[in-house]
Amino acid sequence: MEPDKQADIAPARRLALTALRRMDAERRYAEDVLGELLPDVGDRDRRLAAALTYGVVRHRLTLDHILKAFSRNGKAPRPLELLEILRIALYQILFMDRIPPHAAISQSVEMAKALAPQAAGYANGLLRTIQNSMGPLRDEDPRAILPRPGGRALEFDRSVFPPPAQTVDHLSATTSHPPWLIGRWLRLYGPEVTREIALAGNCVLPTTLRVNPLRTSREKLQEALSNADHDVTAGRRRPEALHARRTAGLAGVPGYHDGHFSVQDETAMAVAPMLADHHPRRVLDLCSGVGGKSTHLAELTADVVPIAAVDRSREKLAVQRENLARLKLTQVAPVRADGIYPPFRPAFDAILLDAPCSNSGVLARRPEARWRLCEEDFFRCAALQKRLMAAAVPLLTPGGRLLYSTCSIDPEENEEVVQHFLKTHFGFRVETTKLDLPNDTAGGGFRAVLVSST
């Protein structure tokens, strides 16, 4: 590629291509790869590179269906690097209205020139053909309709996807989820709910801030963020939630270093109140991770209730300690231990078990999970969840509460784990259960409170 043309390629697109190639070659997560690539990049390029990377990961199957439909031989373009370039360009054309299609196409052509002159011509012809085939929704052929987040569907001038009668294949291709996962949801929820779950998994969710009521109020934080030109709105599910559509890195957000907020999905915010509302005296968080739910519980109980926050990961506990210092919380004690073998006596009247799970409810925030999951993972997760539930029982005082939660929407990890627990541990009753399905602002998840009567 000529040096002047090389310089014309936006850094964000080059970074997105590098990130996607590393993810494929090294089997790594986008968050980790982008964390290495973006620290010294300007805010605008950082946001665009992340949007392109996550967008291609989310919509990969749909993008490939479209590229195959318009390819002369009906196959995905090769080599893989050319395919990634085309995916990046097509994602912009289909899903990023603020980027002119001609800009996305010209940039991809310049990137393809680095592979071979004929690759540039091929990219230009294929992408322009796809662009010219797009039009407003006419509802003439469901096989030509691409649903998009926010209900903004578009229609091609030819059939691209499998017919709706092939329900699994059609939903898989149009919403970019593996066929086996679509089939599983269809058995559990039926076609309409499955479609809504899959479309929610493709939403670009807002960054959700959990206000620390010990340091500020939602109104004050919202005013401070708005004054700093952040697009902030009140949450839908929790009174302490704010949705921020544009954040230039947390370090630069007003109030972050002062402990005024944490980042947490609204569905995850619904967990800690289920214990806090009963005024516990001593709490155990059996799988605390970086402390999202422990710190929330501490905030809701005025930081006067002792909370033992267990995790076996040294790295996660290090982040948890940083969060505790930033939020200025004193009653949460990080403990490095295995949740199946917790080093405690029966002294807790409240135990929180936010169990490791399939992440099937948070595919919008963890888009790679859909491609790495397999059916056996649900069985493996459920087996671990049952062991963790059993490990909590000896540590609970009579009349105590065990709060079980996951970010899964699959009964095998939720209701069936609870039912198994009740069958194998007498003296417990279910106080409440709640399943939240994902939507366009929050992920999905499950929670259940079990009360000991002995």
**What confidence tens digit (pLDDT) does each residue in 207-243 have?**
999 999 999 999 999 999 988 888 899 998 899 999 9
Check if the beta carbon of residue 60 is closer than 8 Å to that of residue 371.
yes
Check if the beta carbon of residue 349 is closer than 8 Å to that of residue 402.
no
Structure tokens at 118: 């004929």
Check if the beta carbon of residue 93 is closer than 8 Å to that of residue 129.
no
- What pLDDT score was predicted for residue 6? 46
How would CATH label the architecture of 3-200? Orthogonal Bundle (1.10)
**Pairwise CA distance, residues 78 & 422, whole Å:** 54
Structure tokens at 227: 């004054």
Q: pLDDT tens string for the chain (454 positions)? A: 333 444 456 899 999 999 999 998 888 889 899 989 988 888 889 889 999 999 999 999 999 999 999 998 878 788 899 999 999 999 999 999 889 999 999 999 999 998 888 899 999 999 999 999 998 888 779 999 999 877 788 999 999 999 999 999 999 999 999 999 999 999 999 999 999 999 999 999 999 999 999 999 999 999 999 888 888 999 988 999 999 976 556 667 889 999 999 999 999 999 999 999 999 999 999 999 999 999 999 999 999 999 999 999 999 999 999 999 999 999 999 999 999 999 998 899 999 999 999 999 999 999 999 999 999 999 999 999 999 999 999 999 999 999 999 999 999 999 999 999 999 999 999 999 999 999 999 999 999 999 998 7
The three-class DSSP label of residue 446 is strand
The one catalytic residue in 203, 287, 381, 407 is: 407
The answer to pTM > 0.95 is: no
Annotated binding-site members for S-adenosyl-L-methionine: 311, 338, 354
- What pLDDT score was predicted for residue 250? 66
Annotated binding-site members: 311, 338, 354
Longest dimension (CA), the chain: 77
The topology (CATH level 3) of 205-263 is Alpha-Beta Plaits (3.30.70)
Question: What is the Cα gyration radius of the chain?
Answer: 24
Q: Domain residue spans in the chain?
A: 3-200, 205-263, 264-452
Structure tokens at 289: 């991770």
- What pLDDT score was predicted for residue 246? 65
Bridge partner residues of 336 (DSSP): 311
- What pLDDT score was predicted for residue 5? 47
Structure tokens at 233: 């709105």
CATH superfamily of 264-452: Vaccinia Virus protein VP39 (3.40.50.150)
Structure tokens at 80: 């893989």
- What pLDDT score was predicted for residue 448? 99
357 is annotated as an active-site residue = no
Cα torsion 363, 367, 373, 375: sign: positive
Check if the beta carbon of residue 354 is closer than 8 Å to that of residue 289.
yes
Check if the beta carbon of residue 139 is closer than 8 Å to that of residue 145.
yes
